[in-house]
Amino acid sequence: MPKMLLEEIKSVEEIAKGIFKFSVFSDYVSKNAKPGQFVNIKCNDDSYVPLLRRPISIMNVDREKGTFDFVIQVKGIGTENISKMNARDKIDIMACLGNSFEISESYKNIAVVGGGIGIFPLLFLINDFNELNKNIKIDTFLGFRNKDLVVLENEFKSASGNLFIATDDGSYGHKGLVTELLIKEIGESDYDIIYTCGPLPMIRKVALIAANNNIKCQVSLEQRMGCGIGACLVCVCNIKSNDKAHEYKHVCKDGPVFWADKIVFED
């Protein structure tokens, strides 16, 4: 059951222009959060603008220290307000929301594909996999628009066996799509599962690559949200069901993680 919490911010760091990493003291989130879940952050002041909270993925937890991390990219008034918060400020969050990625000891060789701000929940995922199985093989593929937006490279490098980076303009790593790197590696690797989060064209491509290679694939959908708990219809997505052609699901409550072969990708 999600909780409303007023927690203390431990630190804030601008890790790239307009991209801020927050660490927050929260015993509850650090002990209960699972990879893929998110928090809904209050980001208005007394003017009630913006009215809606902002859903932000949990990037990592430190269960011993009782902290969790998240990253925001300033894109509007809500994220701008959050970016102005400082260490020792109180932050009003609803947590922990949504379902989580499937983590299993039976997965011994995994690929993780992230793009833009979709990379953040994947760090939590691979950290938990490393905790579960020290011998797991993890290939991580990250895509960014350009070199200035490449963040958390060291964190992903130390948690992954191999890290592959692509930028749209070629200013860092491979020039082109991150999925091109995945296609290159997939022939050599025998992945048990692929996890992905990022822009829709990217996850659609990853889902297709996984299907063509008969590999299981889980997708975390990024979606505009309202309530964050299944009470409005802002976040619906189209999911295949067994008895009907498809059905509408709430990304916030039924997701954000779905099996890729169940998603009806709309144009």
Q: Catalog residues that contact ligand FES under the rule CB under 6 A.
A: 225-228, 230-232, 234-235, 250, 252
The CB-of-55 to ligand FES minimum distance in angstroms stands at 8
List the beta strands (DSSP E) in the chain.
3-16, 19-25, 38-41, 54-57, 60-62, 67-73, 90-97, 109-115, 137-144, 162-167, 174-175, 193-197, 216-220, 236-239, 247-250, 257-259
Classified as helix, coil or strand, 53 is: coil
Distance, in Å, from the CA atom of 110 to the CA atom of 139, rounded to the nearest integer, reads 6
Distance, in Å, from the CA atom of 219 to the CA atom of 232, rounded to the nearest integer, reads 22
Give yes or no for a contact between 69 and 59, defined as CB atoms under 8 angstroms apart: yes
Region of 214 (left: φ > 0; alpha: ψ -120 to 50; beta: rest) is left
Instruction: CB nearer to ligand FES: give 176 or 226.
Output: 226
Structure tokens at 181: 């790197």
Instruction: CB nearer to ligand FES: give 44 or 130.
Output: 44
The CB-of-85 to ligand FES minimum distance in angstroms stands at 23
Instruction: CB nearer to ligand FES: give 189 or 223.
Output: 223
The CB-of-248 to ligand FES minimum distance in angstroms stands at 10
Q: Cα–Cα distances in Å, from 80 out to 45, 198, 214, 223?
A: 12, 21, 42, 19
The CB-of-236 to ligand FES minimum distance in angstroms stands at 7
The CB-of-95 to ligand FES minimum distance in angstroms stands at 15
Angle, helices 200-212/178-186, rounded to nearest 10 degrees: 10
The CB-of-230 to ligand FES minimum distance in angstroms stands at 5
Instruction: CB nearer to ligand FES: give 16 or 200.
Output: 200
Instruction: CB nearer to ligand FES: give 246 or 248.
Output: 248
Instruction: CB nearer to ligand FES: give 3 or 31.
Output: 3
